[in-house]
Amino acid sequence: MTARPRYRFLDEIVSLTLDGTPQIEVAKRFDAGEDVFTGPLGPEQVPESMLLELMAMTGGHLIFRHLAGGLLPLLLKVPECRFDDAASAGERLHAGAALRGVSSVADGTSVAETEAWVSHDTRPIARARMMFVCVSVPGIDLAARWGAA
């Protein structure tokens, strides 16, 4: 029996476009009972670290699908990030990412850059520019394992 992960990084992929400028939009709701609310901000406010994680996961999903599941994107750095507002427990958040570029490196890896954002309804919450290193995982067919092919 396979154990089901306790935490879901994304609840739903709302839209995905791989033509032109690849973009993705996802939805996520942080329920009040989740472990993320046991920190210093208390049970009401989503920690900024989780909003950053949401943007990174959103960008990673976009890159993974853009590269047809052949390489695993790993967050490399966040050159720019800004938090404009707070997110509260129970709010249905929307996060999005647009691919700004992918560059191949001689050893078969790639570097990708995304612009990502989080909002609630029309209220902007966070924005970030993120860079990922995309690597192969020897012995594992990533596309088959996660259904990207």
Give the pLDDT mean for 39-55: 84
Dihedrals phi, psi of 10, to nearest 5 degrees = -135, 140
**What is the domain partition of the chain in residue ranges?**
12-146
Which pLDDT belongs to residue 24?
Answer: 98
Q: Tokens 């924005």 correspond to what residue?
A: 127
Q: Which residue has the higher pLDDT, 112 or 35?
A: 112
Which pLDDT belongs to residue 145?
Answer: 60
Which pLDDT belongs to residue 149?
Answer: 46
Q: What is the pLDDT of residues 102-142, one digit of tens each?
A: 998 878 889 999 999 999 999 999 999 999 999 988 777 77
Confidence of residue 147 (pLDDT cuts 50, 70, 90): low
* CATH class name, domain 12-146: alpha beta
Average pLDDT over the chain, rounded to an integer? 87
| Beta-sheet strand order (sheet of 110-120) | 12-17, 23-29, 92-104, 110-120, 123-135, 72-83
